[in-house]
A and B are shown apart, each in its own frame.
Chain A
Amino acid sequence: MQLALFIIFGALALGGALNLLYQRHPIHSALSLVVVMMSLAVLYWSLGAEFLAAAQVIVYSGAIMVLFIFVIMLLNAGEEHRTNGSRAAYAVGIPGAAAIFCLLSFVFLSERSALMTSNIGGDLSNAADNIADVSAMLFTRQLLPFEVTSILILVAILGAVVLARKEQ
């Protein structure tokens, strides 16, 4: 069951990411990223993070991607053109990314015996469910960082309003 979920939604996430790389129009890239985020939400759920799966769907694919698509529509962004810079980026980008992937997967596969296998659903602690676990941690030990992030959000709102305002 978990292997089937992993293969189906892992392949979907990978296909969405490759489509993001392949498409030239920004709106197609944005919609492929929505596919990646939705399949990652299913993988989070299968790893026992129900709260994060819901937050991923609501915050990432619901709010952030709508903001992206809104800006793409607002600026009427067209297809991108190939330039000298993009040819140089192809020469550097593909081998660089492949090298980073080879390094990471070599480390993960060589440490494979130390990394255990995972079963479907959450078995994090003795709490009744994942949300109780997360909220207990968030509102007791992590209360100060939680409050600081609310200030961060406030500053980000003010900054966005100031930056996007029309020049006088």
Chain B
Amino acid sequence: MVPTAYYLILAAMLFSIGIAAFLIKRNVITIFISIELMLNAVNLTFVAFAHMWHQVAGQIFVFFVMVVAAAEAAVGLAIIISIFRSRQTLNVDEIDLMKL
């Protein structure tokens, strides 16, 4: 017997750590990894609510989130490879072409 609130708080912890890693990390790949962590935290809340309301729709939503995450990972990593080819760096502070 675990209160659903505990699952939600665990997901909130993972999401906040993902936000902190997204802001702190300077490597493009690590920033991308922290986005995946945030997606996983949101998936945990979907599964917890699906369990709470005895509805399977939340699990379907998690399935679609997984599909979109896979597509996003493929395209994002291709963009990172092409950035590395043209600039020879993975540091976000040096990738500043669109900055004023």
Contact = CB atoms under 8 A, between A and B. Distances in A.
Q: Is chain B's interface secondary structure helix, strand, loop, or mixed overall? A: helix
Interface in B14-52: 14-27, 29-30, 32-34, 36-37, 40, 43-44, 47-48, 50-52
Nearest to B80: A71
A94 interface: yes
Q: Is chain A's interface secondary structure helix, strand, loop, or mixed overall? A: helix
A15 to B, nearest CB: 11
Interface in A19-70: 20-21, 26, 29-30, 33, 36-37, 40, 43-44, 47-49, 51-52, 55-56, 59-60, 63-64, 67-68
Q: What's the interface size class on A, roughly?
A: 35 or more
A108 B66 contact: no
A117 interface: yes
Given A49-B51, A115-B3, A164-B78, A60 B14 contact: no
Contacts, number: 254
A162 B67 CA distance: 20
Contacts of A149: 64, 67-68
B1 A51 contact: no
21 contacts: A2-B1, A3-B1, A14-B10, A20-B17, A21-B21, A40-B43, A43-B7, A49-B50, A51-B59, A52-B63, A71-B77, A77-B27, A80-B91, A96-B23, A101-B12, A115-B5, A122-B51, A125-B54, A134-B63, A153-B71, A160-B78
